[in-house]
Amino acid sequence: MPRKTDDIVISVKGLKNAFGESVVHEGLDLDVRRGEILGVVGGSGTGKSVLMRSIIGLQTPESGEITVFGEPNIGREETEATEIRKRWGVLFQGGALFSTLTVAENVEVPLREFYPDLTGALLSEIASYKVVMTGLPADAANKFPSELSGGMKKRAGLARALALDPELLFLDEPTAGLDPIGAAAFDGLIQSLQKTLGLTVFLITHDLDTLYAICDRVAVLADKKVIAVGTIDELIALDHPWIEEYFKGPRGRAAVATQEAHERADQVADAHPTEVQSKQSAPDDADATYAEKEARTR
């Protein structure tokens, strides 16, 4: 059955971006479906971040059409653009936190910008809630970014991206620089927030484990356009040399092995639920994210 057009949250058609003589995108098409986690991959410099910046209005394309939530997002009146921007959150590469503001103050930035009438007490209440929602301890709200680990900074950036209760989340290499355990925990957080909050996620990544673990579909950028989009199995079946090398090279095989290990662990959990449940409930719940706790109660 054909999908309804309102199932498409982001539609990019015939996009062209260039910096002087250097053409980054030409004839780029991409649809992002409501409720999916779409991974965006491609070699370094293929224009993944420029694509994201075009969609969120930070980069004016030379030509093409971009609609977000069914509304054209190029050349809009500022007031209309603001209404649309309220509906998404962005985690930029490296977190992009303001170093002179505390975590809570960072989270308050978009709230102050879009809802200038909010009072101080309410602002800090919302900020604290978002901080805890991303699995940070409550006292992280009053810390400065320089006092946080890399993983905590990412969570703080995510808390700010979630400040406005967005429907759509843009993540630019969220697990870059994290150790494998921290990266897997962050993947789990994104997936659990996506499920709990019903988010649509546009996720740029080089991390094959992330692609296998949480992405519903993957879009591949090469030759200035999206050359393929689909599930990983669909992409591998295409027999494209770059895709083949990417997914079947040593790192791709390692990611498959990790995924299979997770699946085996899940099977054990299904076969011995009581044993696993007792192990799961044993540790203190303090490390669980808000979304994980909420998902458990449903």
Ligand X SMILES: Nc1ncnc2c1ncn2[C@@H]1O[C@H](COP(=O)(O)OP(=O)(O)OP(=O)(O)O)[C@@H](O)[C@H]1O
Contacting residues toward ligand X, per CB under 6 A: 19, 24, 42, 44-50
Q: Which is nearer to ligand X, 2 or 19 (CB)?
A: 19
CB of residue 207 vs ligand X: minimum separation in angstroms?
Answer: 11
**Whole-angstrom distance, CA of residue 65 vs CA of residue 56:** 13
CB of residue 20 vs ligand X: minimum separation in angstroms?
Answer: 7
CB of residue 50 vs ligand X: minimum separation in angstroms?
Answer: 4
Q: Which is nearer to ligand X, 173 or 187 (CB)?
A: 173
CB of residue 222 vs ligand X: minimum separation in angstroms?
Answer: 10
Q: Which residues, other chains included, contact 211 with Cβ-Cβ below 8 Å and sequence gap of 6+? A: 39, 41, 205, 218, 232, 255
Q: Which is nearer to ligand X, 46 or 210 (CB)?
A: 46
Q: Which residues, other chains included, contact 13 with Cβ-Cβ below 8 Å and sequence gap of 6+? A: 29, 64, 65, 66
**Whole-angstrom distance, CA of residue 214 vs CA of residue 262:** 12
- C-alpha pair distances (Å), 73 with each of 10, 82, 264, 295: 10, 11, 44, 34
**Whole-angstrom distance, CA of residue 88 vs CA of residue 161:** 8
Q: Which is nearer to ligand X, 46 or 191 (CB)?
A: 46
CB distance 25 to 47 below 8 Å: yes
CB of residue 141 vs ligand X: minimum separation in angstroms?
Answer: 30
Q: Which is nearer to ligand X, 23 or 254 (CB)?
A: 23
Judged by DSSP in three states, 204 sits in strand
